[in-house]
Amino acid sequence: MVVRLMVVDDHRLLAEALASALKLRGHRVLAAAAPSAGAADLVVSRAPEVCLLGTATPAAPGAFDPVVRIKKERPQIAVVVLGPVPSPRGIAAAFAAGASGYVRNDERIEGVERAMMKARAGESAIAPQLLQQAFEELLHPAAKPDDEGARLLQLLTPREVEVLMRVADGEDTRLIAAGMDIAPSTARTHVQRVLMKLEVGSRLEATALAARTGLLERVARGGPASSPQGAGTYTSLPNPMPPPA
């Protein structure tokens, strides 16, 4: 059965490739486009039966604003989201916005086609595996970023926390040593210990991990940091004395 559809994806080449594959299967593709400010306008104006909407970040704020717009102005259009394995929040956000289905972006073309058909028929189109994964995460949730940040913070001594903050500020070994009134070799040792404890291979990775887990924010706002090495709040750390020779 022929479906009139549009393909909208973050990457134009992927949108065009998927559109070509569906054309070969006999469907009528009205357009293939990359998301932009006018993507929802294009879908609304063409009024396909089904819109395949690709997104790389289903849990990001505003990821499904185009779906909201499309469903508001053309409620008869069935929107099927194509994305990575999402968190339960990502799946919920897609359906809350009005999507009729969610399909992994590495799904075979047959799976995409089945989802299109179900969505056009007014059914919810989502693979049982995705629902199972979503329920697994709901039943066994991963640590929240702030919790992970607290865990990582407990691994570091107050001095190492200051070193990490200076690394995140872009200071090199010389500046760290000068700012903390310690020898460059000692500063280098502290940096290596921080990288080892955070299980990362570079200063850039350490900064990214600290930002992603909320560690930097927790330190900046003076969050608690209890550890075997010491406890207290990290708002402004005094320059430590250099280690004895």
Structure pTM? 0.56
Dihedral of alpha carbons 230, 233, 170, 197, sign: positive
Question: For the chain, how long is the longest CA-to-CA vector?
Answer: 81
Distance (Å, rounded) from C-alpha 188 to C-alpha 46? 61
- List the chain pLDDT tens, one digit each, 245 residues: 899 999 998 788 888 999 999 999 999 999 888 775 677 888 999 999 999 998 877 777 788 889 999 999 999 999 999 988 766 777 878 888 899 999 988 889 999 999 999 999 999 898 777 777 666 665 665 555 457 778 888 889 999 999 999 998 889 999 999 999 999 999 999 999 999 998 888 888 888 888 888 887 777 766 444 343 433 333 333 344 444 44
Distance (Å, rounded) from C-alpha 171 to C-alpha 57? 32
